[in-house]
């Protein structure tokens, strides 16, 4: 069976940095162990760094850098303005780059904690990529 390709949203990186024992960190650890393939985009990494820096203590920012420096994460091809504009018809403009990049990457799953904008029926209908929380993915993957 092929390893699932997981597109990681900024919220997952931030949550992993904030809580090394949580579900987001557990998903990243699956990537470290080679059980799943981790994908993300440059824009997602910039957003994750900014949010970690603004919302969490310095130790969490150091944890974020450690994740980024040690995980086998594939940075996906950049999305075009047209791809972002299409996704922005479905989700909030600030999250359109995530949906567009996950779709373009042909990931199996987009992992996010953004229930308001990305974990919605509209976002799911836009993309063939399954959209789940890290906890939901872990239940399906392990259970």
Q: What is the DSSP string of 88-129?
A: HTTS-HHHHHHHHHHHHHT-SEEE---TTTTSSHHHHHH-SS
Instruction: Specify which residues 38 forms β-bridges with.
Output: 6, 73
Domain ranges for the chain, please list them: 5-142
> What strands, in cross-sheet order, belong to the sheet with 5-8?
73-75, 37-40, 5-8, 109-111, 130-132
Predicted pLDDT of residue 1? 60
Q: Which CATH number, 3.30.420.40, 3.40.50.2020, 3.30.300.210, 3.40.50.1010, labels domain 5-142? A: 3.40.50.1010
Contact by Cβ (8 Å): 13, 135: no
- Residue 87: pLDDT band by 50, 70, 90 thresholds? very high
Measure Cα distances from 108 to 7, 89, 111 in Å: 8, 22, 10
- Residue 142: pLDDT band by 50, 70, 90 thresholds? confident
Query: 121: Cβ–Cβ under 8 A, 6 or more apart, which residues?
Result: none
- Name the pTM for this structure: 0.95
Which stretches does DSSP call E strand in 9-77? Answer: 37-40, 73-75
- Residue 136: pLDDT band by 50, 70, 90 thresholds? very high
């Amino acid at each position: 069976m092929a390893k699932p390709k997981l597109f990681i949203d900024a919220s997952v990186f931030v949550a992993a940095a904030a809580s090394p024992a949580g579900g987001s960190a557990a998903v990243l650890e699956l990537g470290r162990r080679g059980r799943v393939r981790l994908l993300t985009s440059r824009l997602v990494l910039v957003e994750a760094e900014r949010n970690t820096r603004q919302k969490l203590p310095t130790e969490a920012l150091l944890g974020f850098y450690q994740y980024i420096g040690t995980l086998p994460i594939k940075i996906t091809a950049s999305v075009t303005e047209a791809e972002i504009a299409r996704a922005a018809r479905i989700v909030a403009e600030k999250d359109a780059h995530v949906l567009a990049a996950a779709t373009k990457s042909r990931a199996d799953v987009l992992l996010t904690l953004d229930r308001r904008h990305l974990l919605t029926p509209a976002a799911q209908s836009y993309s063939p990529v399954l959209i789940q929380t890290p906890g939901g993915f872990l239940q399906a993957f392990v259970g």
